[in-house]
A and B are shown apart, each in its own frame.
Chain A
Amino acid sequence: MKVHKVGSWIALLVVMTMLLAACGTNKDSAKNGEKESAAKTTTIKIMSVSQTENPDGPAEKEMAERYMKLHPEVKIEFIGVPMNDLYKKITAMATSGDLPDAFTMTPQFARTANGMGITADLTQLLGTEYLKEFYPNIIEESSVDGKLQFLPWNAAPMALVYRGDWFEQEGLKGPENWDEFLEAAKKLTKDTDGDGKADQWGFGMIGTRNGSGADRFIAIMRSYGVEELRKDESGKWVSDLATPEAKEAFQFFVDLNNKHGVVPPGVTETGFPEAASLMATGKVAMMLTGPNALGNIVSQNPELKGKLYSVPVPAKVKHTATFGLLGYSIAESSKNKEVVADYLKFMVEDENALKWNELSGRLPTKIEVGKQQQLTTPEYAGFVKALEYAFTIPAFDQYSQFQDIVAEAYQSMIAANQSVEAATKRAADRAAEVIGNSK
């Protein structure tokens, strides 16, 4: 009996082994087929901040899919990363030698990235003739020491976005200066449901302690003629943070919350996503932002299409704006530089750039596309004009510290009622220390 059973088991095992071997053969041949096609396919990995935003993320994916249809031998994979985590992620991946083929880059970080030696020289890769198709000041802003750090995909100059319909109802016009701005903000801060408490505010102030909040305040401060960092006549780095004009700018910004009450509660917790949501839900009338906010707000509330107008950042002594440039660097370590460069060129082609502008609101960077675009509508007019006032980020390795310095100052004044004297003194001291350490 036992012998019989053992025989049955052996027979069963033999049959199963044969079956598995047959399956293995099929799998092997399938794997071989995959390997063959994989050998022909070039996969490029792109780290993108757009992937974490809407409608930008799906639109960028759709563009990549169109490219892949035209180039079946290329496969594009995205790694999404929020803007506020971008520099940390790049640094961490660079130190572990794990950078993707391309990654989002800004002028603020370009100098640091260049110092790390992680960015390929796009001037060489793309050729100077090709780069002549772009606005020269944009190419300059995207370069470090004559080496193009990233292909500028789009510009998002900062301007003031406001509810055109509410302004018209109140008989207001787009504010030209900060006095008109404050007047409008006060008029548009109101109690709409009659419960005795404000539920609509004039200004969606972004007061977080990060680049998002700091860049906005720096634009305001520059409109007061104050530069957080500049070179003096002798070529030395200096900061204007302790000047009376700087104090005036800080005081004005903080008073919007502490004195005039024209911003919603929780200003130090309000970042860009929160402010955009407040605008989309009809809680605030104005916000300082790039044109990308238009796409974001309208995607949250389509009823606002055509109701959002823009003007340049109001002036104290002058209008001002950041370029808000965003583009892609190609990693020096990438083995597919030519393929990535070709895809980047595809992204800024006329048709794609215009489509991207229409969807995300960001402005194109090529001269010919700029001529073709329909940006004379009230939504975009302010942004287009703002480009005239855009300033260049100081070419200083530790520039990100200045963002933290000003953000610490306004938060201390808002949250701890620190005096403008104390806050600006600390800001100036920190600035001097950073400048001193850079020598």
Chain B
Amino acid sequence: MPGKTLAEKLLSEKSGSDARAGDYVEAQIDVAMAHDITGPLAFQTFHEVAGEDADLFAPDRTIFTIDHHAPADGVQAANNHNAVRDFAAKHGANQFDVGDGICHAVLVEEGFVKPGDLVIGADSHSTTYGGIGAFGTGVGSTDLGTALATGELWFRVPQTMRFDVHGDLQDGVYAKDLILRFIGDVGFDGCTYKAAEYTGSTIESLPVHERLVLSNMAIEMGGKTGIVPPDERTAEYLERQTGNDIDLSDAFHSDDDADYESVHTYDATELAPQVSKPSNPENAVDVTDVEGTEIDQLFVGTCTNGRYEDIKIVADILAGETLAPNVRMVVVPASKSVYTHMLHTGVFETLTDAGAIIQNAGCGPCAGYHQGVLGDGDICLATANRNFPGREGSMDSEVYLASPATVGASALYGEITDPRDIETNRYDDTIFAEVLP
């Protein structure tokens, strides 16, 4: 028998079986999460299967956030928020309210997820947790509601596609550009039912906030999860962010002779900044192919690229400058701590001086709910993960996806701009930690 992949080992451990790709297993969940859109439906399921007064499988490892319609944009959204608050309070679960931030940012920052954990979230971008070596996967509300009662869920053990990347990225090229290229190469459904595993010297040298970007967008190629094997860098990052001691001995790594479905090898030195054209993330091209495309709105934020390090890149580009006259810029920090850091480091002021609008932490206009919806004919350049038809508003609007550096550079000129000539505070993964006590 060949060795096992990280995903096979983790699901073997959690199911108490010798799990191989293709097997169906029932596995123990470490962490469960839902938010204001998916929570209420999951609560209905929980009540139906377990009863109104049943206990959660582990309230201390259950997290609910209010981030999608936050603050409420209408009565129904407000009622959903109250449903989350009531359920969390009644069952003693962790709950994060309006302004606390996006579920995926909060779970990592607050130390709920550790390397080696099996995490389900009722949100497709729950793949994000793979960036710290967990098996994170998105599920529906019925899955989540039943798992809240039992602490377990069925899984088909995925095959693994390995993305092996070597060499130094050029200045102005980031993890976002890597993942857009991967999606462009394998296609929007190229990793469906499978796990993505990111390896190689380039990935090993990426700071953890960048690894989270790779894992976050695994779902954009259909991936069940997207994992970066955890290392000392992972442990240091989590210890600094959360104050918790991290024990990597519980984490999993693929065997050298693991059976990968496929291996995709990349030379990072050749990669140009990428832009995904409307209306699918797989439409990734070199920025030079779309340079000069005029933009109406720039959006910096989301669970993909709304971290402090991302927003700092944009601020460094815009420092002392002003937005091009034809554009508006919406900046939405991914969490309250990002927001606070922006205030204390001057990033907030730099951006507002340049003409940007800064909103409360949350999902913002990413899915077209509110706070920056696009009108007919509007073109947006976003650090987001999706650019489906009508994703951020009108079916006649268009969204291009790019890294924070490309969005920052483009804000200066009002058209898609190659960020490679612009100096940024690249890969300084200590900037978040050093500012506040």
**A associates with B:** no
Residues of B whose CB lies within 8 Å of any CB of A are none
